Amino acid sequence: MTLPDRSAVVLGAGEGADVSRRNGRDVILKAVAEQTGGRFAVYEAAHPPAVPGPPVHRHPHSDEAFYVLDGDLRVLAGDTEHTIGPGGFVLVPGGMAHTFATAGDRPARFLVIHGPAGFESFSVAVAEAERKAGRELSPAELTPIAAQFDWEIVGPPLAVSQAETATA
């Protein structure tokens, strides 16, 4: 496979394409398919406490990894729940049901890596749809968007009360 000529991507803190969503869920795209030859995508996410994460879902054709930078993140991967703090890492293989929520009373900031790339387009599409709607989308509204981007909803989000009481 021959890749087109590419340049280094160098971004400072807070730099990248901002595709943040409602309820304080910040997403900054750091590297996308066009920059990595489709091999992977990386984005920085910040998730507030006391706000549910995404519905339990799976990516049939891509792996997803989480690396926590600050705060504590509760990750459900398959049937097992993990609470990870700064420096913690979880790799969710393609096809495995998973979700996340902030653990405790502080926001969590983390990197998300998808391989192969492409799923970052889902974040762009949802952010645009929420801006147009002026509100957060319901799971029923997310489903047709998700179907276009290797994202299948298979269950509800983690309950906020559980996320607030989780311990590291």
Instruction: For residue 154, count CB atoms less than 10 angstroms from its CB and return exposed for 0-12, middle for 13-18, buried for 19 or more.
Output: exposed
Domain parsing of the chain, residue ranges: 17-152
- Residues facing residue 73 across a β-bridge: 84, 102
pLDDT tens by residue, 15-58: 888 887 766 678 899 999 999 999 999 999 999 998 788 889 99
* CATH number at 17-152: 2.60.120.10
Q: What is the mean pLDDT of each run of 10 residues along the chain (168 residues)?
A: 72 85 80 93 92 89 97 95 97 97 92 94 90 87 89 87 44
Kindly report the pTM of this predicted structure. Answer: 0.86
User: 41-47 and 57-58 as β-strands: parallel, antiparallel, unpaired?
Assistant: unpaired
Q: Which residues contact 56 (CB under 8 A, 6 or more apart)?
A: 76, 97, 98, 99, 153, 154, 155, 156, 157, 158
